[in-house]
């Protein structure tokens, strides 16, 4: 128990005890440093590019099954609505007899991974280390092993960086709020969230005190309303006070914009963004980010889950992420005995075989210098003092032995080599009017992804990028102004009649105005020749939706809310629902609708909304899970926020006449947390909640 005593002593030094949250003075003094550029701390992380995520805990014992249902995993306590007393009984039997952290680390290294992030505590509150703050930890199990301590020692033996995932949310702690919507047996009376935050900070202090240098703190569960940005900034500062070199993800704060994982704007703390189960389509220049993704459907072990991604899909995702300047954190959910599923082992071994030969095209590379992805694959790049290496990752080997690289000039190209062969395989090339052509062998070395290394001297590859089309708005009532941008030294020619831009088409100088619906097509030119692909953007002149007269029985002050029960995975067509709905009355604040947090339900919200003037109105619809917003007698779809996701916001635009307009909003919640908010903005004004005076319903 020496380590526990030391934790408590150091906790006092770190200023985590007490019920108020004035940060320790040393933390405040160091906070500007905490917000300073993170280049020195991030250097190893940017070099690594590939890491292992591990979701493991009591939930693994249930293997995704409860009461005959098999659609559960790490969220099983809430998705299966297991009472706390019943779930707690799992603790005593947890005994991972096949847990071998050295075997985990050896496999991660063979896969080409450079770091490991493991769940120290997931949302269920169970801790994989002997914590001085709770008895809901490994000391109360049959194992009685410090599972994190063993992994920390193994990771260092094998040269792997180590990260702790730690949930801000905690369904076990009596002071954590809010309770789950279904937990009628757990009163929140007497709960003190500030007291819970003390507990959270105390556990983070243990994790960053007792295990030597920790490279990443990976927080999660910050989305519920009880967690604030102020709490997040203080927790970030605590981490950096305890271990100044540690990297902290952006989920410590409240800035994450849904599953996209990136901050909604400046002012939020966190060293990197965290897209979940997706890769940002256009890349994120100048932003550190990491895509976390499962190999199959669930994060935790689910015995019935057979939806495993193929070797090729996982490898292509790793390359796609690297080509956009991000890291790839690939998850494994170990079995309850501590062993990795054989399907996961097979995929890691396959990725490792590729990385052993072609990893130079991933490690330490920068994002592709091209605007977009190619139909045939992706690109990464690495610069040095003498030039640059451009790596072309070819997913789809061409039927004819030529590969076209659009927008790439051959200036400075010193060599072209096909990697992954027994000996370096030189390739020939020639310049084209709009790029370059490489001559390939008929047979490809690797079945899933092949790499061509182009060595450039001097300042590196010259890439002619497509022009950018920017505008005030894509949809307008009278007119919109358009501006075209290109790299220095390039001219832009454009058309508005759908034809292909040529050197004889109008040249963009400054901006121009559109007054009718059309498609703008533009292309970059150099010395009179086209050097880029054509880009296009459609602009639409709108006719305002007509206003209507309010029915005589319409009541001002809100919208009518009808509730339907059922299991939904997308916004339902409620007119075909078998059961009669429950009338929840009239409401203006949609986030305060009674029973909003209830799981497995849909709401149909109807009435009228008042536009104070004719013009373009912006709408923002936030929901967890999915929702849609329709306006007018024709029920025109304005915002589509459909799908199973966390709290996410989608926007839309509608042209409205002055007066009242029919509105229909449909929202559903499957399981987990719930959120619903509707905001709008009149022309030239900022988004705000819809006021009760602007709503009416029957």
Give the H/E segment covering residue 349.
helix 342-358
Give the H/E segment covering residue 153.
helix 147-157
Distance CA 653, CA 473 (A): 10
Q: What is the CATH number of domain 555-697?
A: 2.60.120.1560
Which of 3.20.20.80, 3.40.50.2300, 3.30.1490.20, 3.10.105.10 would CATH assign to domain 2-356? 3.20.20.80
What confidence score (pLDDT) does residue 577 get? 82
Q: Which residues pair with 397 in a beta bridge?
A: none
Query: Of 250, 241, 177, which is closest to residue 220 (Cα–Cα)?
Result: 250
> Does domain 377-463 bear CATH number 2.60.40.1180?
yes
Instruction: Please check whether residue 34 is in contact with residue 236, taking contact to mean a CB–CB distance below 8 angstroms.
Output: yes
Instruction: Please check whether residue 54 is in contact with residue 298, taking contact to mean a CB–CB distance below 8 angstroms.
Output: no
Q: Stretch 116-122: mean pLDDT, rounded?
A: 98
pLDDT digits (tens, 9 = 90+) for 332-353: 999 999 999 999 999 999 999 9
Residue 186 has pLDDT above 80, yes or no: yes
Confidence of residue 34 (pLDDT cuts 50, 70, 90): very low
- What does DSSP assign to residue 99? -
CB atoms within 10 A of CB 366: 15
Instruction: Give domain limits for the chain.
Output: 2-356, 377-463, 468-541, 555-697
Query: Of 307, 4, 260, which is closest to residue 129 (Cα–Cα)?
Result: 4
Q: Which residues pair with 431 in a beta bridge?
A: 436
Query: Angle 342-358/311-323 helices, nearest 10 degrees?
Result: 50
Q: List strands edge to edge, sheet with 648-656.
A: 648-656, 615-624, 675-681, 688-689
Q: Stretch 193-199: mean pLDDT, rounded?
A: 98
CB atoms within 10 A of CB 470: 12
Distance CA 621, CA 649 (A): 5
What confidence score (pLDDT) does residue 543 get? 94
pLDDT digits (tens, 9 = 90+) for 463-477: 998 899 999 889 999
Report strand pairing: 468-471 vs 413-418: unpaired
CB atoms within 10 A of CB 584: 16
Please tell me if the domain spanning 468-541 has the same topology as the one spanning 555-697.
Answer: no
Give the H/E segment covering residue 575.
none
Using left for φ > 0, alpha for ψ between -120 and 50, and beta otherwise, residue 158 falls in alpha
Instruction: Please check whether residue 111 is in contact with residue 352, taking contact to mean a CB–CB distance below 8 angstroms.
Output: yes
The model's pTM: 0.79
Q: Which residues pair with 263 in a beta bridge?
A: 256
Distance CA 413, CA 389 (A): 10
Confidence of residue 181 (pLDDT cuts 50, 70, 90): confident
Cα torsion 353, 354, 356, 359 to 10°: value is: -160
Question: pLDDT averaged over the chain?
Answer: 91
Distance CA 26, CA 23 (A): 8
Q: What is the CATH number of domain 468-541?
A: 2.60.40
Instruction: Please check whether residue 67 is in contact with residue 80, taking contact to mean a CB–CB distance below 8 angstroms.
Output: yes
Residue 157 has pLDDT above 60, yes or no: yes
Residue corresponding to tokens 């099954």? 65
Encoding tokens for residue 369? 């210098």
């Amino acid at each position: 128990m020496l380590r526990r005593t030391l934790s408590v002593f150091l906790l006092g030094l770190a200023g985590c005890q007490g019920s108020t949250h004035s940060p320790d003075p040393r933390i405040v003094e160091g906070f500007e440093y905490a917000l300073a550029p993170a280049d020195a701390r991030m250097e190893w992380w940017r070099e690594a590019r590939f890491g292992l995520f591990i979701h493991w805990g009591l939930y693994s014992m249930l293997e995704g099954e409860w009461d005959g249902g098999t659609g559960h995993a790490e969220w099983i306590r809430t998705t299966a609505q297991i009472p706390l007393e019943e779930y707690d009984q799992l603790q005593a039997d947890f005994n991972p007899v096949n847990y071998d952290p050295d075997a985990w680390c050896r496999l991660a290294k063979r896969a080409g991974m450079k770091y490991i992030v493991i769940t120290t505590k997931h949302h269920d509150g169970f801790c994989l280390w002997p914590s001085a703050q709770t008895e809901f930890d490994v000391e109360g199990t049959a194992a009685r092993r410090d599972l994190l301590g063993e992994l920390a020692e193994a990771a260092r033996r094998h040269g792997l960086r180590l990260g702790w995932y730690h949930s801000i949310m905690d369904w076990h702690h009596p002071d954590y709020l809010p309770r789950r919507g279904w937990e009628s047996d757990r009163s929140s009376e007497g709960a003190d969230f500030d007291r819970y935050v003390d507990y959270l900070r105390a556990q983070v202090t243990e994790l960053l005190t007792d295990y030597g240098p920790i490279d990443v703190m990976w927080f999660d569960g910050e989305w519920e309303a009880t967690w604030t940005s102020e709490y997040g900034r203080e927790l970030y500062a605590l981490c950096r006070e305890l271990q100044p070199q540690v990297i902290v993800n952006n989920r410590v704060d409240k800035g994450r914009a849904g599953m996209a994982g990136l901050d909604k704007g400046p002012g939020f703390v966190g060293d990197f963004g965290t897209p979940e189960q997706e890769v940002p389509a256009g890349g994120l220049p100048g932003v550190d980010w990491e895509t976390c993704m499962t190999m199959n459907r669930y994060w935790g072990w689910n015995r019935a889950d057979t939806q495993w991604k193929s070797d090729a899909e996982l490898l292509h995702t790793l390359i796609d992420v690297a080509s956009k300047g991000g890291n790839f954190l690939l998850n494994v959910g170990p079995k309850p005995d501590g062993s990795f599923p054989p399907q996961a082992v097979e995929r890691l071994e396959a990725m490792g075989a590729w990385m052993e030969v072609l990893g130079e095209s991933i490690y330490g590379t920068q994002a592709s210098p091209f605007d977009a992805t190619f139909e045939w694959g992706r690109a990464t790049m690495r610069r040095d003092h003498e030039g640059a290496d451009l790596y072309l990752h070819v997913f789809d080997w061409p039927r004819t032995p030529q590969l076209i690289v659009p927008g790439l000039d051959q200036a400075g190209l010193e060599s072209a080599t096909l990697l992954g062969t027994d000996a370096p395989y030189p390739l020939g090339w020639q310049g084209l009017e709009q790029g370059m052509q490489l001559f390939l062998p008929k047979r490809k070395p690797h079945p899933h992804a092949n790499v061509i290394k182009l060595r450039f001297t001097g300042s590196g590859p010259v890439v002619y990028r497509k022009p950018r089309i920017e505008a005030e708005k894509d949809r307008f009532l009278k007119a919109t102004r358009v501006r075209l941008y290109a790299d220095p030294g390039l001219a832009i020619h454009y058309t508005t009649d759908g034809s292909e831009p040529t050197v004889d088409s109008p040249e963009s100088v400054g901006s121009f105005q559109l007054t009718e619906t059309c498609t703008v097509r533009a292309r970059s030119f150099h010395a009179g020749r086209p050097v880029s692909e054509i880009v296009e953007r459609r602009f639409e002149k709108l006719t305002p939706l007509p206003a209507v007269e309010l029915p005589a029985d319409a009541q001002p002050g809100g919208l009518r809310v009808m509730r339907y029960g059922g299991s939904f995975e997308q916004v339902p067509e409620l007119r075909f629902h078998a059961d009669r709905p429950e009338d929840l009355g009239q409401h203006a604040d949609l986030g305060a609708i009674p029973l909003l947090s209830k799981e497995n339900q849909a709401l149909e919200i109807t009435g009228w909304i008042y536009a104070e003037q004719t013009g373009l109105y912006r709408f923002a619809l936030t929901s967890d899970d999915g929702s849609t917003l329709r306006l007018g007698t024709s029920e025109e779809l304005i915002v589509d926020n459909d799908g199973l996701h966390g709290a996410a916001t989608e926007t839309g635009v509608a042209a409205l006449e002055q007066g009242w307009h029919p509105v229909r909003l449909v929202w559903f919640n499957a399981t987990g947390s719930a959120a619903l908010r509707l905001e709008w903005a009149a022309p030239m004004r900022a988004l705000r909640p819809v006021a009760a005076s602007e709503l009416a319903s029957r």
